[in-house]
Amino acid sequence: MFYTIYDVLLFQMKKKGIEEKELVTILKKNGFKAKQLELLKSNCTTLLPNKLLDKALEIAGLTNLEMNLMLGNVPLEYEDSYLENISRIAKFLTVRELTKNNKNVDAEYRTSKGELYHADCLDVLPMIQSESVDMVFADPPFNLKKEYANGRNDDLSISQYIEWSKLWLDECIRILKPGGSLYIYNIPKWCIYYAEYLCSKICFQNWIAIDMKNSFPIKDKYTPSHYGLLYFTKGTKPKTFNKQRLPIQTCRHCGGEYKDYGGYKDKMNVLGVNIADVWYDIFPVRNGKNRLYNELSIKLLDRIISFSSNEGDLILDPFGGSGTTYAVAELLNRRWIGIELGDCDVIKKRMTSLEKDRNALEKINDEKNVLFTKKSIKLRKKNGFWLPKEEK
Ligand SMILES: C[S@@+](CC[C@H](N)C(=O)[O-])C[C@H]1O[C@@H](n2cnc3c(N)ncnc32)[C@H](O)[C@@H]1O
């Protein structure tokens, strides 16, 4: 399936042996200005004059309906006849043998709880038994032209990136146990495509917004300042959801709470507040060496692994990076399967000396399931703010 008219054009041209550079020349010759080419590439085609859209169809050698079908859309005016003729349409379609990778990849590294594969996840996922994994977390490359030193192109077209994502998403869904949880971390630009696709297969639970601390203003749009964390389950309800609570957010200078709880503080759960779907407390990792691997905070992995799995459960992360998921899984006594296409040395080194991660996890644990952190209790006492009886 295609996601942009531009990708359909590329596909149609390639069939005639015409490459992208030549296509751009053809489009320019047919009246497309630079700005209009940009609109076409980003699929904002409503603003293109009909004359140019007709030209694009002519170049592609397609009717408007054919173009829409290639984009996976059935225009409203055709919907009734499309549905009425669904059996006839299905009869016209033939099955293509999908080349599943039947490679047998050996684990490069093992611990008593997990195994790490130095390979492409599309080669390893098919080896994993169906319905055997309790939770999947995936933090794929964001297709932002980043150098991952793994030989993969991180500058795919929208259609190529989504089609590639659908391959590993399908595998992740297949290997999840009924009731298992799937978490996908990405930028909203890709989460919107993922969410739509996943909604047709498994059950949506949350779109969690993770506040981005280092966001940069971008001309002509609101500053992107959150990552999306999609949370889906295989079935309407998760089989595991070990609810945890967080302390009230307070000012680090005076200890006063940010949110006004009015006269209800006395009635609050002493274990803290429920976790909402906007997370402000996940900070980027300032580990100079591992920046290359886009290392995520262990607080993020601790939260979702603790919520969505129990000790002994099996966790899969198909995009290892620096191995954050595997380190947290190991420390929380979960079994794990890891895959990384690029350099695995940084993961192996991390797994053999988990002291730093263990200490960090202890600190994170101290700040869970309490109404106030130790630090804010001190500040609140000093500044005369309300505290529950047992802390006074
Ligand atoms: C965004 S990083 C993951 C960072 C990780 N969550 C962490 O905390 O360290 C994505 C990783 O996926 C790896 N990768 C990209 N394509 C892959 C593939 N097809 N199979 C396995 N790993 C892949 C990249 O080399 C990169 O290290």
**What would the two tokens of residue 101 be?**
């990778």
Reduced to 3 DSSP states, what percent helix, strand and coil does the chain have, rounded to the nearest 5?
40, 15, 45
Query: Are 129 and 213 in the same domain?
Result: yes
The Å distance, Cα 93 to ligand 1 centre, comes to 36
**What would the two tokens of residue 270 be?**
């002493």
Last residue of some domain: 61, 92, 123?
92
Last residue of some domain: 92, 127, 162?
92
**What would the two tokens of residue 7 be?**
């990708």
Query: Angle at the Cα of 14 (from 13 to 16), degrees rounded to 5?
Result: 70
Residue owning tokens 């006492």 = 381
Is the distance from the beta carbon of residue 152 to the nearest atom of ligand 1 less than 6 Å?
A: yes
DSSP H helices in 47-109: 50-60, 64-70, 76-84, 86-92
Query: Are 119 and 46 in the same domain?
Result: no
Using CA atoms, how far residue 80 sits from 37, 70, 85, 305, in Å, is 34, 18, 9, 45
Ligand 1 pocket test, pick from 117, 340, 344, 351 with the greatest ligand atom count within 8 Å of Cβ, gives: 340
C-alpha span between 175 and 206 (Å, rounded): 21
Atom 25 of ligand 1 has which residue's CA nearest to it? Answer: 342
Ligand 1 pocket test, pick from 117, 142, 283, 294 with the greatest ligand atom count within 8 Å of Cβ, gives: 294
Instruction: List b or e across 176-215, with b for residues whose CB sees 16 or more CB atoms inside 10 angstroms.
Output: bbebbbbbbbbeeebbebbbeebeeebeebeebbbeeeee
- Which among 110, 182, 105 is positioned nearest to 335, based on CA atoms? 110
- Which among 219, 214, 213, 221 is positioned nearest to 189, based on CA atoms? 221
Q: Which domain holds residue 351?
A: 109-366
Query: Are 42 and 113 in the same domain?
Result: no
CA end-to-end span of the chain: 62
Q: Counting Cβ atoms within 10 Å, is residue 92 exposed (0-12), middle (13-18) or buried (19+)?
A: exposed
Query: Are 73 and 156 in the same domain?
Result: no
pTM: predicted TM-score of the whole model, two decimal places = 0.90
**Residue 325 falls inside a structural domain:** yes
Three-state secondary-structure class, residue 31: coil
Query: Are 289 and 147 in the same domain?
Result: yes
What's the total number of domains in the chain? 2
The Å distance, Cα 141 to ligand 1 centre, comes to 6
Query: Are 81 and 118 in the same domain?
Result: no
Please state whether beta strands 273-274 and 245-246 pair in parallel, antiparallel, or not at all (unpaired). antiparallel
Q: What is the biggest distance separating any 2 CA atoms in the chain, rounded to whole angstroms? A: 78
**Residue 101 falls inside a structural domain:** no
Is the distance from the beta carbon of residue 148 to the nearest atom of ligand 1 less than 6 Å?
A: yes
What integer pLDDT is reported at residue 290 of this predicted model? 56
Query: Are 215 and 339 in the same domain?
Result: yes
The Å distance, Cα 343 to ligand 1 centre, comes to 10
Q: Counting Cβ atoms within 10 Å, is residue 322 exposed (0-12), middle (13-18) or buried (19+)?
A: buried
Last residue of some domain: 59, 92, 125?
92
Please state, as a whole number, how many other Cβ atoms lie within 10 Å of the Cβ of residue 375: 14
C-alpha span between 125 and 176 (Å, rounded): 11
Query: Are 116 and 11 in the same domain?
Result: no
Query: Are 353 and 236 in the same domain?
Result: yes
What integer pLDDT is reported at residue 216 of this predicted model? 84
pLDDT tens string for the chain (392 positions)?
Answer: 899 999 999 999 999 999 999 999 999 999 999 999 999 988 888 899 999 999 999 999 999 999 999 999 999 999 999 999 999 999 999 998 877 767 889 999 999 999 999 999 999 999 999 999 999 999 999 988 777 667 778 788 899 999 999 999 999 999 999 999 999 999 999 999 999 999 999 999 999 999 998 888 888 889 999 999 999 999 999 999 999 999 998 998 999 988 887 777 778 898 999 999 999 999 988 766 656 568 999 999 999 999 999 999 999 999 999 999 999 999 999 999 999 999 999 999 999 999 999 999 999 999 999 999 989 999 999 999 988 887 77
C-alpha span between 142 and 190 (Å, rounded): 8
The Å distance, Cα 341 to ligand 1 centre, comes to 7
Encoded amino acid at 236, one letter: T
Q: What kind and span of H or E run contains 158? A: helix 158-175
C-alpha span between 50 and 54 (Å, rounded): 6
Query: Are 317 and 231 in the same domain?
Result: yes
C-alpha span between 329 and 89 (Å, rounded): 47
Report the CATH number at residue 128.
3.40.50.150
